A and B are shown apart, each in its own frame.
Chain A
Amino acid sequence: MNDPIIQGIKLSRWYGVVMGLNNIDFQIHPGITGLVGPNGAGKSTLIQIITGQLQPSSGSLKVFGETPWNQPSVLRRIGYCPERESLPEHLKPMDWLSGLGQISGIPRTAFPELGIRLLKRVKLGEAHWKKRLGQYSKGMRQRVKLAQALMHSPDLLILDEPMNGLDPMGRQDIADILKSLAHEGISIIISSHILAELESLCKNVMILNWGRVIASGAKNEIRSDLSQWAEELSVRCDDPQKLARILFDGDHVLGFDIQKEEQRLDFRIKNPSKFYQNWNQILQDSGLIVFEISSKSQSLNQIFNKVTT
């Protein structure tokens, strides 16, 4: 695997007595990474530290090997699209982009061509270019925010909840843009509180809850890591009725369904942590011949919902 582009070591961030991030260790590698967690999980705090807007309370965070706070060499390589919808209401998109571009070190002469290409790339209709940003809809705001993040050709693009408020077509547009950017070799971190939004887009996922990293890595690794949390199992064995009786007597199940023809027992677990401690022993003691065990919670989203609620 490539070297990490972001590395957090024992990273914590407090807001007074409220903990935003709690002593987390993680690495983010090149590619598209989904940052997922419910509201208040610490996603925006982490993103603000990565983009140099906040400092860690303790621990360290390195982006491209450097601390991002007050570090132009790191910020030069980052494009940031915040969650907030606020834009300078009185400015037109071209003025805003050229102002921000000049701040980023892009020569004035690069505009308006660069602005036009950016707005075309994010699919903002030409009819809206003369309007002030205050007149923009949510979807148009997301597009122009993305344009400003792409302006200085960053190596790492960070998008905080970019799908918020978008209609399905807008979501598809943004997803397509992100895929084409990834195709060009730009690393992307995209946060969302809805995992399903990211599942088709991201190679890697980091799940946060209550300021801690619950799981991190490639999607399938996470799925197998978290499959221990599955609450519904399906077991094919030589005597599914006997297995059902054992589980029922041991007070392990909430309900079950026997498929005689397939020699299969589907059951819902009552207390997963207690059940999985005893599961191997139960099978050994039963003397059953087991052909297959599978989790019914195959969707990453289902697992995410379980571990974050």
Chain B
Amino acid sequence: MGVWSILGKRKTMATNDRGLGVGQYGAIVWETVMAIATAARFRVFDGKGAPPLPEVAGEEVLDPPTAQKIARLVGLITRLLVIWRRRICFYRSYATACVLRSRGVAVALNFGYRWDGPAGAMAHCWMTLDGQLFRETEETARIYSAYLGEKDPSVRFWTDPGNSPGGHEKLSKKELAG
């Protein structure tokens, strides 16, 4: 009985997973790897900011559960590949945004900065979808609640209104975003 259950589950994931077949899983893995490589290359050679996000594909829009499933998969792959950083929020968010935008889901990137005296410079990168947090805790929105501006509608910047400036502190996103 247990064997049949496992086999049945495998079959479901491989062929009938709301549009995610084996080929789709392979494509997602490949796109995630390429997105991480792009982000890493950008950080090494350009240093700051984020590489441009792909345009949102208009022809396909995923249902929310499938989008969540893809985001989980991308997050897992990112965690496995980005072994040189403990905090992977930038790589995870960028890769997820790339993969989902190419499937018609208009995920946007958000960067938050704060200066926490003893802890020093802090930064975080997260995703939003239609202005709502996407796979992110409310705590992030509470901390980074002061809107700073946007590079374009897909990349927005925030700060902590309780920020404690300590001088001409220049905080490079290269060093900060996880």
Task: Decide whether A and B assemble into one complex.
Answer: no
